[in-house]
Amino acid sequence: MPLVFSAALLNRIAAAGLLVVGCCAAHAQGVAQAATTPPPGTMTGAYGQSLQQQQQAAAADKAAQANATRPAQPGATTPAQDAVSRFLNERGILSAAEPGGSSRLLASVRDTASDLVLSAMNFLGVRYTRGGNSVENGFDCSGFTRHIFEMSVGLVLPRRADEQAKDHSLLAIRQDELKPGDLVFFNTMKRTFSHVGIYVGEGKFIHAPRTGSAVRVEDMRDSYWAKRFTGARRADLKAAAAAGGEGPLAR
């Protein structure tokens, strides 16, 4: 038998429901208001916001001063190192380095040959010109190495690649002894010591490759260069720099 409710009872139920809904709405509004209400004692309004910003700025200044006076941790990067990193990144050297090799490459570039290597990298993009030995006219391989050594350390090398390889002031070294600033030689014209570049570290060297190209960095471990490598030579860069263009290293 179906239940029958009187009109009066239905009105009471409806009123009770509205009361419940009204209570829930009031509770939600109270929670939202509590969430946005600042803690007791907090100043509000424009003055309070200004005071809060001043406190945040003071805290930031205090943290900056603490970082400035804190001693550098071992292995931390100095501003000078950042400059080198930015230079190598801009030139695309680090992006081409093998995983984990970037830090080693940076370390190797910052040794006694760093000035010579960074000087060489400043000429990335200069066009290849057969017989060229200047930025204006372009470089060939030996013109490039000769220009870099003379400009950066005052050592005047012979003009041709094979003559540089045979120069008595340079020491022949093995491939596993290579350091940044060493000259590396290749057989690219069916002739020993027919091409030369400057080793920059992590298996890479910078050179002026061929007609139609420009000064760039390549990997000696690539098959083309690996099978054509014919030797390396090292100059006493410290002695050359100390001589300042005088003595047997300069001619």
Domain assignment of residue 44, yes or no: no
**Does this model's pTM top 0.95?**
no
Q: Name which of 107, 71, 92 is nearest 202 in CA terms.
A: 107
Angstrom distance (rounded) from CA 139 to CA 150: 14
Q: How many domains does the chain have?
A: 1
pLDDT band at residue 44 using 50, 70 and 90 as cut-offs: low
Q: What does R_g of the chain's alpha carbons equal in angstroms?
A: 36
User: Catalytic amino acids?
Assistant: 141, 195, 207
pLDDT band at residue 151 using 50, 70 and 90 as cut-offs: very high
Q: What is the CATH number of the domain that holds 123?
A: 3.90.1720.10
Domain assignment of residue 58, yes or no: no
Amino acid 234: pLDDT = 96
Angstrom distance (rounded) from CA 237 to CA 112: 8
Q: Say which amino acid occupies 178.
A: L
In this structure, what is the dihedral angle of CA atoms 74, 79, 84, 89, given to the nearest 10 degrees?
A: 100
Lowest mean pLDDT of 10-24, 33-47, 96-110, 161-175, name the range. 10-24
Domain assignment of residue 225, yes or no: yes
Domain assignment of residue 59, yes or no: no
Angstrom distance (rounded) from CA 235 to CA 163: 14
Instruction: Give the rounded percent of residues in the chain with a pLDDT score beyond 90.
Output: 43
Amino acid 127: pLDDT = 97
pLDDT digits (tens, 9 = 90+) for 181-211: 999 999 999 899 999 999 998 899 999 999 9
Domain assignment of residue 181, yes or no: yes
| Side-chain-side CA neighbours of residue 226 (13 Å) | 6
Amino acid 238: pLDDT = 75
Q: What is the DSSP string of 72-133?
A: PPTTPPPHHHHHHHHHHHHTTTTTTSPTTHHHHHHHHHTSTTHHHHHHHHTTTTPBB-TT-E
Residue positions counted in the chain: 251
Domain assignment of residue 237, yes or no: yes
Domain assignment of residue 2, yes or no: no
Report CA-CA distances (Å) from 167 to 50, 146, 155, 163, 246. Answer: 73, 12, 12, 6, 17
Domain assignment of residue 187, yes or no: yes
Amino acid 221: pLDDT = 95
Amino acid 21: pLDDT = 40
48 or 149, which is more confident: 149
Query: What is the span of the domain harbouring residue 159?
Result: 91-241
Angstrom distance (rounded) from CA 93 to CA 208: 16
- Tell me the two tokens of residue 156: 């005047």
The partner residues of 207 in beta bridges, in order of sequence, read: 216
Amino acid 18: pLDDT = 42
In this structure, what is the dihedral angle of CA atoms 52, 56, 57, 59, given to the nearest 10 degrees?
A: 140
